[in-house]
Chain A
Amino acid sequence: MNIGDFEHFLSGIVWTCVLTLGSFSIGALLGVPLLVARLSGNFLIRILAQVFIQFVRAIPPIVWLFTIYFGIGASLLHIPPLMAALTGLGLIATANLAEIYRGALNALHSGQWEACQALNLSRWDTVKDVIGPQVLRVTVPSAASYLIGLLKDSAIASTIGATELTFQAKQLAQLSFNGLIVFPVAGLCYIALSLPIAWLSRKTDAHLRKRVAR
C-alpha cells in the first residue's frame, strides 16, 4: 500500500469514529428521556415508549439505514449518507441504551428509593445524587460492550455510501484488486479501535467495584 491508500484508511477511521461515538452520544442522551417515558406513570406514554423500543430493536440496522437514506432521503428531503447513518444508528442506540439503563435501574435495591423518601430528598435530588450515579456505575460494562457492537455495526453505513472505514476498504480493494490485504487491514483497524474501549471499560469497572462492592 502507498501513502495515498494510507490516507484513505485514515479518513475512513476518522469517520468510523465519528459515526460510532456520534450515534452512541445520541443514544446516551436520548436514552434518558426514553427511559423516563418507558417508566412513566401514564399508561399511554409507557406503552408508546415500549412499542418504540421493540420496533426499533426488531428491525435490522441496515433496513433502518436504507429506509432513511433511500426512503426518506430519496423522496422527502435529501440527507447526506453520513447524516443518514448517524440518524439511523443514533435511533437504534437510543432504544438499546434506554434498555441498558432500565436494566441497571432494576438492579438497584428498592431500599435506595425508600431511604431517599424517608430522608425527604426531592425527586430530583434522589435521581441526581443517589440513583443516577449508581445506575451509571452499573451501566459502564454493558454500555461499553454495546459501544464495541456499535463500532462494528457502523460498517453497514458503507452500504449507503458513508465514507467510513469499510467503505474506504471496499474502494481500495476494487481499485487494487487486492482484497486479501485491504480487508484484513480494515479488520485490524476495527480491533485496534475496540481495544481502548474494552480497556477503559475494565479499568473504570474495576475502579468503581473497588469502592462500592456489595
Chain B
Amino acid sequence: MKNESAKPLISLRSLSKHFGSLTALDKIDLDVNAGEVLAIIGPSGSGKSTLLRCINYLEVPDGGTITLGAQTIDSSRPVSRQELSNIRSRVGMVFQSFNLFPHMTVLRNVSLAQERVLGRTTKEADERSTQILNRVGLAEKASQFPNRCSGGQQQRIAIARALALDPEVMLFDEPTSSLDPELGLEVLAVMRELAGSGMTMIVVTHEMGFAENVSDNVMIMADGHIIEKGPSAEVMRKPREERTKRFLHAVHDR
C-alpha cells in the first residue's frame, strides 16, 4: 500500500481561510504521503479543525490549492459539483459529534451512501456493511438504532460508515473529544488498527498518546499557522519551538 514515489497523496499550498476579520488558516503548506498517519494538535481556535474541513470542502477555503492525487482544486475559482464530488468520494470523515442518522438502523447508516453514491445494490452494500461492522467489532449492533449504542460504539459505527465508501484518506476531527476516557479507548483501538492497515489518516486530536505512539508525524498549529511538524517522537519529546513546548507543558500539567 505504501507509495514509494516521492509524490505526496495530499498537498496543500498556501491554503487560507478567513472568518470575517479572523484568519483561521494563514497560507498553510502541507504534504501528506500515502499511508502516512498525521496527528494535528494545538490549542483550540488554532485552525486545526478548519484545516481538516477545508480538505473535503466542508469549509470553502478562500485562497490556495488542494491537490489529492492527480486532482487539484484551486480555491481562487468556483469549484464544480463534479470536482466536489470527486474529492469527497476519495475522502472519508469522522466527526466529534458522530453525526449518525438517528432514524436509521446501524446497518442502514453504513449502507445508505454505498447505495446512493457508489451505486451498490442493497445486498452488496449490506454485505460490505456487515463486513466492516465486524471489523470495528459491532456486527451484533447492525439492527439496532444508534441511540441504543454507547458513544464509543456510535463513533466506531461512524468510522465504519466512512470506511464503507473505500476512501483513500480518512479525516478525523477530534473523534474522542466527546467521549469519556474508557469509551475513547475503544475508538482509538479501531483507529490504531486502521493506521496499521496502511490507511492514510489525518487526525485532529487532544489524545497525546495517539499522537506520540500511533501517528507517524505530528503537526502543531496555533493561530492559523503550522508551528512545527516532524516525526512524532521528535516533536512530542524534543520540540524545537517555544510555542510547542508551552502547549505540551500545558497538556502534561493537566
Contact = CB atoms under 8 A, between A and B. Distances in A.
Interface stretch (B35-43, B94-102, B121-129, B179-187): B94-102
A115 B117 contact: no
A184 B103 CA distance: 44
A10 B151 CA distance: 55
Contact of A111 (B85, B95, B161): B95
Q: Which secondary structure characterizes the binding site on chain A?
A: helix
Nearest to B108: A129
B206 interface: no
Interface string B63-93: 0000000000000000000000100110111
A214 B99 contact: no
A121 interface: yes
Contacts of B88: 117-120
B220 interface: no
A112 interface: yes
Interface stretch (A69-77, A130-138, A173-181): A130-138
A111 B89 CA distance: 18
A146 to B, nearest CB: 22
A114 B102 contact: no
B159 interface: no
Nearest to B94: A118
A120 B113 contact: yes
Nearest to B56: A118
Interface residues of A, number: 21
Interface in B132-191: 145, 147, 158, 161-162, 165
Interface string A184-214: 0000000000000000000000000001111
Contact of B112 (A112, A117, A129, A137): A129
Given A111-B95, A118-B56, A119-B113, A211 B103 contact: yes
Given A109-B97, A118-B93, A121-B112, 9 more contacts: A112-B99, A118-B91, A118-B95, A119-B161, A119-B162, A120-B165, A129-B112, A212-B102, A212-B103
29 contacts: A109-B99, A111-B98, A111-B99, A112-B101, A114-B58, A114-B95, A114-B99, A115-B95, A115-B100, A115-B158, A117-B56, A117-B88, A118-B56, A118-B88, A118-B91, A118-B93, A118-B95, A118-B162, A119-B117, A119-B161, A120-B88, A120-B113, A120-B117, A122-B116, A129-B101, A129-B112, A130-B101, A137-B103, A211-B103
List the 5 shortest-distance A-B pairs measured between CB atoms, nearest first: A115-B99, A111-B99, A118-B93, A120-B88, A119-B113
Interface of B: 56, 58, 85, 88-89, 91-93, 95, 97-103, 112-113, 116-117, 145, 147, 158, 161-162, 165
Interface of A: 109, 111-112, 114-115, 117-122, 125, 129-130, 133-134, 137, 211-214
